[in-house]
Amino acid sequence: MSEQGRSEQGSAGRVIVALNFPAMEEALAFLERVPQVRYVKVGMELFYAAGTPLLARLKERGLKIFLDLKLHDIPNTVGRAMAVLARLGVDMLNVHAAGGREMMLRAKEGVEKGVLPGQKPPRLIAVTQLTSTDQRVLNDELGIPGTVEE
């Protein structure tokens, strides 16, 4: 394999492509047009519309899945929810860090408890700020001093 071929193959696994579609059919049709995609992000809208059948279809295609639900609730609720989500066989999950340290710890425990025997636990990450946060929202609504760039 050429050096360029190895590079392209390697980068395809590191790029996560957002499936920002309202329905499973649209997401799957998109994936037909970009067969080189190896890792996808499924957000709230698509997951709530298509649910676990979508995840099964994505796994059938051999895709890695980031289930981007940004859980943020009381610690015990997030922990129990993460235990359920960990059983789905996705590769990555997330919480919103604004839920605090205790919530994030419960999320981690939930993932560890929920993963099925022989299954690799999903990576768990925390979102600190939404990409839609602008300077006004940061300072005026959230009360955080400084600039978005900081």
Which residue numbers are catalytic?
70
Residues linked to residue 64 through DSSP beta bridges, in sequence order:
39
| DSSP line for 72-110 | -S-HHHHHHHHHHHHTTT-SEEEEEGGG-HHHHHHHHHH
Distance (Å, whole) CA 19 – CA 56: 15
